[in-house]
Amino acid sequence: MRHSTKTNYQERILKVLQHIQENLDQDLDVRELANIACFSQAHFHRFFKGMLGESLGEHIRRLRLERAALRLLVTDQNVTNIALDAGYETPEAFCRVFRRMFGSPPTAYRSRMRNTLYPKMQSGVHYLSGEQRRTLFVTPPKPSTEVAMEIEIKEISPIRVAYMRHVGPYTEVDSVWNQLCAWAGSNGIIGPETRFYGVCHDDPQITPPDKIRYDACMNVPPSVMPNGAVGIQEVFGGKWGMYRHLGPFENLEDSYIRIMGEWLPSSGCELRDGPSVEIYLTDPKHTPAEQLVTEVYFPLV
């Protein structure tokens, strides 16, 4: 089961890579790429980076540069035209990026006629022309140097919570938590059984920072009703995977990427549409960042 699921994920990412290589001159729409992979757009970027070791944007920019390098070697096109075809507005910008990647400016690179065309990349995916694309494959990611991920699969009943919504970067949610806790404290709602949840609706790699939605939540009894900016909703319900993240909140994105690219393809599981949920088991005001414990939950079919 797990082997066939891993093969299925490999086939899905290969379809995306094939489409990218065949449409490098187009504006590649992430919604279309996610659909090709039969993947939720909300999770696609993390899945892509987890599988290939680079973000979607980095991958596309690199392939366009590799295509430019190939054209420098096998055509007489001038650098300006090659730069424009690679998506750069000026030859100067193209030259700066090209030099960072290949170690020399385009004209020097062309004159030296390197034997090794491309730098070594973890994924093994490089720009291929014409019939070569039929040989496209993905080198499996190297085993993580970190301890293997321990994921628990749980069936969780819906939980009634009071919440306040924050719209903006995840790094700025402290203010909404202060407001929610002040409201709960003044109404005598916080007690020994209170747990604190974060509902993360958006992937910061694709949603503009000022549009990211986050709900700061705490469980409440049926007697608590909506009040102004404080709403009532249910979180969870159904099948969920859980990973226990240890350390600073700013490293949570690394855990999400490992879940999508390392654990999921070998798990035999499929993601379900919906936001992830975080449970904060330690108080960041009284706990050193490296000792923070956060349970990361993601919905499964």
The per-residue pLDDT for range 256-299, each reduced to its tens digit, is: 999 998 899 889 899 988 899 999 999 999 999 999 999 999 99
Residue in the block written with tokens 């949920």: 277
CA 252, CA 89: separation in Å to the nearest integer? 35
Q: Which has the closest alpha carbon to 207: 56, 45, 85, 83?
A: 45
Has residue 145 got a pLDDT over 80? no
> pLDDT of 277-288, one tens digit each?
999 999 999 999
Query: How large a percentage of the chain has pLDDT more than 70?
Result: 87
Residue 203 has a pLDDT of 85
Dihedral, CA of residue 80, residue 86, residue 88 and residue 91, to nearest 10? -20
Give the mean pLDDT of 53-60. 92
Report the SS3 class of residue 295: strand
The two counts, helices (H) then strands (E), for the chain are 9, 8
Query: Domain extents for the chain?
Result: 2-135, 151-299
Residue 199 has a pLDDT of 97
pTM above 0.75, yes or no: no
Identify the CATH number of the domain defined by range 2-135. 1.10.10.60
Q: Which has the closest alpha carbon to 193: 216, 220, 155, 158?
A: 220
Of 116 and 229, more confident: 229
CA 223, CA 29: separation in Å to the nearest integer? 46
Superfamily of 151-299 according to CATH:
Regulatory factor, effector binding domain (3.20.80.10)
Report the SS3 class of residue 40: coil
Highest mean pLDDT: which of 45-54, 59-68, 157-166? Answer: 157-166
Query: How large a percentage of the chain has pLDDT more than 90?
Result: 63
> pLDDT of 191-246, one tens digit each?
999 999 999 998 887 787 889 999 999 999 999 999 999 999 999 999 999 999 99
Q: Which has the closest alpha carbon to 135: 143, 124, 122, 150?
A: 124
